[in-house]
Amino acid sequence: MSLLVINDRAYLEHAPGNWPEGPHRLEAVWMALAETGVKEALVFEPPEPAREEDLALVHTERHIDRIRRFARAGGGYLTLDTVVSAESFDVALLAVGGALKALEAVLSGRTVRSAALVRPPGHHATPEEGMGFCLFNNVAVAAAHARKRRGLERVMIIDWDLHHGNGTEAAFYASPGVLFVSCHESPAYPGTGWLTDTGEGEGEGYTVNLPLPPGSGDRTYREAFETVIAPVARAYRPEVILVSCGLDAHYLDPIGRLRLSTGGYGELSAIVCGLADELCQGRVVFVLEGGYDVVGLGWGMASILNVASGRGGPIPEPEGYDPPEPQDEPLSASSRLDDIRSVQQEYWPV
């Protein structure tokens, strides 16, 4: 089985200067896919730019207009952590469009699984503002498109970026039509996503936060996915699974303190693809979010796509890099998972 990947060199044109979220990130992914041979199992297609009415499925007109005007004026600091260049608005439209094209390919049956290797990332962008390197919320717009235009009743978003997907949560906090699951480091930016944040109104119970303490690694992630995320998915029975695919939980990443290995990311991919095979005809869309070490980002994505494409299993570390030694995870991680299951038992058979 080949895997469709939406990607384009135009994504390099969002160039905020000497910044962690820069064009070098995509170049690192391309290099790793070639070095590992995973590229041979992928079919690449370019994105098509999203329309402003696509953005309006999630974002306010005021926010869309602000980003457009800011970029057209030459850019600068949108916030203290988000830089915009003159080309950023057009590239952000391509990022949203890449996620939409990857989703449509899966929903139309052109491919079973797909990936959108896009930038800028999106999961911190709320309906009303951009932040955390994000301008528009690529995954949220794709989920809203699936619901409002394609008529899907149940969309599941799994966000395994190191940071909580606060923007995605905000977009669907009151909706049972989108099940948002975020597995992230806590405490960490942006300081949201506590385990008792479970949604509101009709959406109560449809936000599942798994805030993991620093030092959590492969073993904790496997337990979280097997004892919380998988049972929730089976109870919800999504019609498609979207993955906010951040790679900054990798042990090499300079921003975070979680310690997922390259192979660990492949294992997460196997769990999610297995759930999709069981629940929704295999339909999974991976959308790139964070990841700021070029080796961790590139090889982690190669490991994910190697599994998702059916080419092989998780990929180990490149030569010269040693994964974290297997060890008992900190007691705080085990205790935190107990607390998460205790909260979620009110809503799901975890």
Confidence of residue 18 (pLDDT cuts 50, 70, 90): confident
3-state secondary structure of 238: coil
According to the model, what pLDDT value does residue 325 have? 73
pTM of the predicted protein model: 0.98
Which among 95, 97, 69, 83 has a CA at the least distance from the CA of 130? 83
Give the CATH number of domain 3-344; options: 3.40.50.1370, 3.40.50.300, 3.40.800.20, 3.30.420.40: 3.40.800.20
Give me the phi and psi of 80, to 5 degrees please: -65, -20
Confidence of residue 331 (pLDDT cuts 50, 70, 90): confident
The catalytic residue positions are 124
Examine the pLDDT at 86 and tell me if it is beyond 90: yes
**Long-range Cβ contact pairs of 291-295 (< 8 A, separation 24 or more):** 291/25, 291/246, 291/247, 291/248, 291/250, 291/253, 292/20, 292/21, 292/25, 292/248, 292/253, 292/254, 292/255, 293/250, 293/252, 293/253, 293/254, 294/24, 294/25, 294/28, 295/28, 295/32, 295/252, 295/321
Confidence of residue 177 (pLDDT cuts 50, 70, 90): very high
Examine the pLDDT at 152 and tell me if it is beyond 90: yes
Examine the pLDDT at 1 and tell me if it is beyond 60: no
Confidence of residue 329 (pLDDT cuts 50, 70, 90): low
- Chain segment 259-268, per-residue pLDDT in tens: 999 999 999 9
Confidence of residue 326 (pLDDT cuts 50, 70, 90): low
Give me the phi and psi of 305, to 5 degrees please: -75, -25
* The dihedral sign for the CA sequence 64, 68, 69, 71: positive
According to the model, what pLDDT value does residue 234 have? 98
